[in-house]
Amino acid sequence: MACALENLRSFAIRSRVNAPPTALARVFRLSSGLRRLGFCLVLASALGLPTLAFATSVTPPTFTELVDESQLIVRARVQAVRAAWVDSPQGRVIKTYVTLSVLKPLKGSAPAELTLQLLGGEIDGHGMHVAGMPRFQVGQAEILFISGNGVRFCPLVGMMHGRYRIITDPATAREYVARNDGLPLESEHDVQLPQPANTLAFRFKQPAVALSPLAFEQRITGELLRHATRP
């Protein structure tokens, strides 16, 4: 067990490779459930358990941190989602591969097609669930803040805080931006609100006053310009 825990500590460290110094102070504090990943995978395999679940604790980033810590920021559409078994130092794990068609790059040099790698998923009757890990659907339009793809267990900055859905309001046919938990994004500073939001928050956040995709992209571009002019 001690060996498995030590392997996972190395896994956690590798997941933060190339992260900015500010990110190291706040992103992805793995809880005891995820720290025992190596041991649990071996034990679950031996017992034939179909599903594993792991908890995570994430400190929400500010909007400035979200933009600064992203290697790529893109508006994209989900083209495909598939899960596969992958060998890792902790044993066999399930990863979900989300293939995106990049509609508009907002930061960094993004290819026309990009595949994200996320820890967890379901395959052949077996499941591995990481609490707070975003789940994607084919056809969904997204604005994504990406860093450490293929290195971190979640390639989105701040995990669920790095994923924003573009939704069409059925009442008005207007497109608006919503967080991973479905809360309409009225301000770029709402990225820092805890997720999932409580019922009261949903009552006061309305799609009619939420940011449009273009307005959110303009806030991102403005933050990038401010970053470029900082001393």
pLDDT in tens, 166-208: 999 999 999 999 999 999 999 999 999 888 877 676 667 889 9
**Count of beta carbons in the 10 Å neighbourhood of residue 111:** 11
User: What mean pLDDT comes out for the span 150-162?
Assistant: 94
CATH 2.40.50.120 in the chain: give the residue spans.
64-228
Over the stretch 90-147, which tens digit does the pLDDT of each residue have? 788 899 999 999 999 999 999 999 999 999 999 888 888 888 899 999 999 999 999 9
What ranges in 73-127 are assigned the alpha helix state H? none
Query: For residue 120, what are the β-bridge partners?
Result: none
pTM exceeds 0.85 for this model: no
Mean pLDDT of the chain: 80
Predicted local confidence at residue 56, as pLDDT: 59
Residue that wins the pLDDT comparison between 174 and 57: 174
- Decide which of 3.30.70.20, 3.20.20.10, 2.40.50.120, 2.60.120.200 is the CATH code for 64-228: 2.40.50.120
Phi-psi region of 167 (alpha: psi -120 to 50; beta: other; left: phi over 0): beta
- Spatial distance between the Cα atoms of 53 and 34, rounded to a whole number of angstroms: 9
Neighbour tally for 16: CB within 10 Å: 16
pLDDT score at 127: 85
Q: Would you state the pLDDT for residue 131?
A: 85
Shortest CA distance to 110 belongs to which of 153, 61, 62, 143? 143
Q: Where are the alpha helices (DSSP H) in the chain?
A: 2-14, 21-24, 32-35, 37-47, 63-68, 199-204, 213-228
Quote the radius of gyration of the chain (alpha carbons, Å). 18
